[in-house]
A and B are shown apart, each in its own frame.
Chain A
Amino acid sequence: MKLEQVIEIVNAKVICGSVKANNIERGFCSDLMSDVLTIDTDKLLIITGLANVQAIRTAEMADVNCILLVRNKKATADMIKVAEENNMIIMETSFSMFHVAGKLYEAGLKPVY
């Protein structure tokens, strides 16, 4: 799925990073970063309500470059700095995690398991 599609479906705002030509295949919802660190999947979108720098560090270690913040959580300056250093994309949406997961699943985004 193209990231542009994700943005349209969940009415997301891009905070940093270049969305163009970025594709994702699977999505994973978690506020627990240790769970994210157990995943070994490429082209992954992390959907989280955890708006602190550890969400970005976790994505960095897990080789994930797209993060969608849900529940109207806002990316902090720290998060944006680390994300920009690592060419990552941060997006924000006001929808709940359940809403976002449902809509993206319906549109064809696959789960990790």
Chain B
Amino acid sequence: MIKLNYTIEGGDFSRAGYASSQVKKNLKQLGVDQKIIKNIVVALYEAEVNIVAHAQKGNIEVLISPTGVKMIVSDQGPGIVDVGQAMQVGFSTASEKVRQMGFGAGMGLPNIKRNVDRLDIETKVGKGTTLTMIKDF
């Protein structure tokens, strides 16, 4: 089992994607199938951008086992008021700054769901959100 851990600063778009990039390099080294790597890092990158876009800070923990990857992405942020609504394509609460960075069109969570085998969302308004994503090899 390989464990990777990254701290993510909210608002720091210059660094957004660094953790996902590191995870991609690790998975490549392990010889994981390219299509599966893409699914994993697209989901993780969207989640990483979500922390940068919405939260004060967050954490990414990635557990790589011989059978798959578990990613736990947690943040200290505003939480999600209505998860059902947030899962709909086109719904977004992102700021103008986030939109200028090429995101904030309400596609993040649906994109994440499409790319993993399991997505669990735990959220508390005013406290934060934790996404647990599982992708089997």
Question: Which residues of A approach B to under 8 Å, CB–CB?
Answer: 31-35, 37-38, 40, 48, 50, 52-55, 57-58, 60-63, 78, 82
Contact = CB atoms under 8 A, between A and B. Distances in A.
A36 B20 CA distance: 16
B14 A57 contact: no
Nearest to B23: A61
Contacts of B21: 57, 60-61, 82
**Do most interface residues of chain A lie in helix, strand or loop, or is the interface mixed?**
helix
B59 interface: no
Most buried by A among B14, B45, B105, B111: B45
B102 A31 contact: yes
A61 B13 contact: no
**Which size class do B's interface residues fall under?**
20 to 34
A52 B111 contact: no
A57 B20 contact: yes
Contact of B101 (A52, A60, A61, A62): A52
Nearest to A55: B102
20 contacts: A31-B102, A32-B105, A32-B107, A33-B101, A33-B102, A37-B107, A37-B111, A38-B114, A40-B35, A50-B102, A53-B13, A57-B20, A57-B21, A57-B45, A58-B102, A60-B17, A61-B20, A62-B42, A63-B34, A82-B21
A61 B41 CA distance: 6
